Amino acid sequence: MQKKRVDFFVIGALAGIFSSIIRYILGYIIILFLPDYLNCVRIAASIILDPVQVMAGGFGVTAIGLQIDIVVSVVVSLVALLILEHSGHNFFLFKGAVIGATTWSLFYVVLSRILSQLYPANSILAAELSFLVHVIYGMVLTWSIVRLKKVFAANP
């Protein structure tokens, strides 16, 4: 009898959504102390919305930014899942930290300057906090992937 294969896409999507929400919560906590901090949700919302509207906040702005951020996170999660499939699950938290740092470099530093109307890193502290949040995001992402693979394998 053939062993049932764990659904690659579902695991990647769930891990991407979960880790994106954790990153959002961390960013929101930072905003409580640094109101001008540009988290991923604000940067993503400013791709579509006016920067003044984004900084004013509100449910609609957060919803649009979170939607964009979650879609990007799912794509990053699928790539991370491919990396873990190829390299194995050993040192998955370290691999997650590297994935998070790479994600920060590509999306926060490079693509946000091209696509967003709000430019990140209005201070060194904000840039370093964003980097730390992305490293944590990557670690949560790979932890989620490994955990979900175990859960799906145990419950075919």
- Domain assignment present for 98: yes
Residue 108 has what pLDDT?
A: 81
Residue 121 has what pLDDT?
A: 63
- Domain assignment present for 1: no
- Chain centroid to Cα 132, Å, comes to 12
- Domain assignment present for 155: no
CB 142 within 8 A of CB 95: yes
- Domain assignment present for 80: yes
Residue numbers of the domain that contains 121: 8-150
| pLDDT tens readout for residues 138-153 | 999 999 999 999 888 7
Residue 5 has what pLDDT?
A: 64
CB 4 within 8 A of CB 156: yes
* pLDDT-based confidence at residue 3 (cuts at 50, 70, 90): low
> Following DSSP, what letter does each residue of 60-120 receive, concatenated?
HHHHHHHHHHHHHHHHHHHHHHHHHHHH-STTHHHHHHHHHHHHIIIIIIIIHHHH-SS-S
- Domain assignment present for 3: no
- Domain assignment present for 124: yes
In the predicted structure, residue 24 carries a pLDDT above the cut 80: yes
| pLDDT tens readout for residues 81-117 | 999 999 989 999 999 999 999 999 998 878 877 877 7
- Domain assignment present for 146: yes
Neighbouring residues of 85: CB distance < 8 A, sequence distance ≥ 6: none
Domain count for the chain? 1
- Domain assignment present for 156: no
pTM value surpassing 0.85: yes
- Say how far apart CA 19 and CA 141 lie, in whole Å: 5
- Chain centroid to Cα 33, Å, comes to 21
Q: Could you tell me the CA-to-CA distances from 141 to 9, 63, 119 in Å, in that order?
A: 14, 21, 25
